[in-house]
Structure 1
Amino acid sequence: MRRADRLFEIVQLLRRAPGPMTADAIAAELETSRRSVYRDVAALVAQRVPIRGEAGIGYVLERGFDMPPLMLTSDEVEAVVLGAQWVLVHADEGLARAAADVLAKVAAVIPERLRAAIDEPAVITPPSWSERADAGIDVARLRAWSLQGRKLRIGYADAAGEPSERTVWPFLVGYMDGKRVLIAWCELRGDFRMFRTDRLASVTFLDERYPERRAVLRRRWLAMMAARREAAE
């Protein structure tokens, strides 16, 4: 790997990492030596890339740092196209418009040799063959309430058609091929629940914030789902 490519990859690794990365971890990812990583990080810092490092803990890329868009590779452009295609077909109108805007912005800045990946892509997602049954639900507002950590009062019908009224703490909206789901902590059940948006009879957007941090709820739910998958294997 050329040194310029390695420098770029170090920035990408740190950008994706959920926490500090040690020189050994970076070296293993890039199949190079720890000494090379030390030199490369020093070179990046000298170029004013905001990397912080502490002995025994690792390196962190400070938030807000951006790389020139022309650094996108062909695979990265195709990944953006594939993701945007899926969002255009399956997500709510607000995210669909955002996906179209992302494609337009990428197309405006990438080199001409990569334009075919957007104009005539080699990747495709299945089209949506049916109308959504949750057309009356403001999914974009569900996303906003999840981000803001505000409560919802919902009327819901389960798989058997049994109705219920409950107050929930939303923290994720899941987009699936056949349906969308609201993932929340349910005050009625005292547990996490996934609510299909096509079974929501009513949604009242409350101003009240729920007491738990959204990030904590998300981590707990992900850990619970991972434990369930392990138990099923």
Structure 2
Amino acid sequence: MRKADRLFQIVQILRRGTRPITADAIAIELETSKRSVYRDIAALIGQRVPIRGEAGVGYVLESGFDLPPLMLTADEIDAVALGATWVAGHADESLARAATDLLAKIAAVLPEEMRPFLGNPATRAVPAWDRPVDGIDAVQLRAWIRAGRKLRLDYADEQGRATQRVIWPLMIGYADTTRVVVAWCELRTSFRTFRLDRIAVAEFLDELIPGSAAQLRARWLKEVRERG
């Protein structure tokens, strides 16, 4: 690893930590020697990076400091390219366009020597083929999720049986060929997922969901982890 990359990674490690991080821990993550970490920390402090701490105790990065946002490593650029191309090939038209715009914005401000990594990345998502048509406007659905409002659905289950549901939409989940909305279902009084292509009719209600959508998402994630 080049010294410049190592210095950048040390700042990243310190930035994500909430407690002092020892040179041993940094050396293990970067697969380098503790002596090299000490030298790199000294170099960063010499460049006025506000690192506090000492050998044997650990180091912290003072709040308020950050590197320029697009000093990305090659792996980080690959991660961005993979995520954006996956969205472009799997999400609705609006999000796909946003992903393409995002890549263009990043390319415009990347250092010249890093642009080839974004234009010709080592990772790329394969577009989804034969994806069923959604029965709901995903753009408006995202707006309702952000606003914390309810939906009324005419929905068909796997056997084609039609039901009416009032749901509290929490997030949209993306699989290879289908999209689902994760929601609290008033009929079942529990969390449910509804495939967007099985929604026959969607009525966007003005009624707000009770409580906090963020807390409901946290509850859903907890249930998923416990089942797993």
TM-score, length of structure 1 as denominator length:
0.76
Encode CA deviations 1:8-54: one digit per residue, 9 max, x unaligned.
Answer: 44653476x5xx72114897356498xx7xx88x959x7579x9xxx
Inter-partner Cα distance in structure 2 for 1:25 and 1:156: 55
Deviation at 1:228, TM superposition (A): 0.9
What does residue 216 of structure 1 align with?
A: 215
Counterparts in 2 of 1:155 and 1:95: CA distance versus 1, 3 Å: same
The letter for the 1-side match of 2:185 is C
Deviation at 1:132, TM superposition (A): 3.0
Inter-partner Cα distance in structure 1 for 2:184 and 2:215: 11
Encode CA deviations 1:97-147: one digit per residue, 9 max, x unaligned.
Answer: 11111110111111222222222222221222224321x421121112112
Q: Does the CA contact (< 8 Å) of 1:182 and 1:195 recur in 2?
A: yes
Inter-partner Cα distance in structure 2 for 1:4 and 1:200: 52
Q: Does the CA contact (< 8 Å) of 1:69 and 1:109 recur in 2?
A: no
Structure 2 residues without counterparts, runs of 5 or longer: 53-59
Q: Does the CA contact (< 8 Å) of 2:10 and 2:26 recur in 1?
A: no
TM-score, length of structure 2 as denominator length:
0.78
Fraction of identical pairs, as percent:
49
Encode CA deviations 1:172-204: one digit per residue, 9 max, x unaligned.
Answer: 100110100000000110000000000001111
What does residue 170 of structure 2 align with?
A: 171
Q: Does the CA contact (< 8 Å) of 1:10 and 1:26 recur in 2?
A: no
Inter-partner Cα distance in structure 1 for 2:189 and 2:179: 22
Inter-partner Cα distance in structure 2 for 1:7 and 1:14: 11
Inter-partner Cα distance in structure 2 for 1:6 and 1:96: 34
Inter-partner Cα distance in structure 2 for 1:60 and 1:153: 49
> Cα RMSD over matched residues?
3.2
Deviation at 1:69, TM superposition (A): 3.8
Structure 1 residues without counterparts, runs of 5 or longer: 52-58
Inter-partner Cα distance in structure 2 for 1:182 and 1:62: 37
Q: Within 5 Å, which residues of 2 pair with 1:112-123?
A: 112-123=112-123
Which has the larger Rg? 2
SS of aligned partner of 1:132: coil
Inter-partner Cα distance in structure 2 for 1:196 and 1:146: 16
Q: Does the CA contact (< 8 Å) of 1:179 and 1:198 recur in 2?
A: yes
Inter-partner Cα distance in structure 2 for 1:142 and 1:206: 11
Q: Within 5 Å, which residues of 2 pair with 1:1-150?
A: 8-9=8-9, 12-13=12-13, 21-24=18-21, 28=25, 31=28, 67-134=67-134, 136-150=135-149
SS of aligned partner of 2:80: helix
Counterparts in 2 of 1:21 and 1:121: CA distance versus 1, 3 Å: same
Deviation at 1:149, TM superposition (A): 1.2
Q: Does the CA contact (< 8 Å) of 2:81 and 2:103 recur in 1?
A: yes
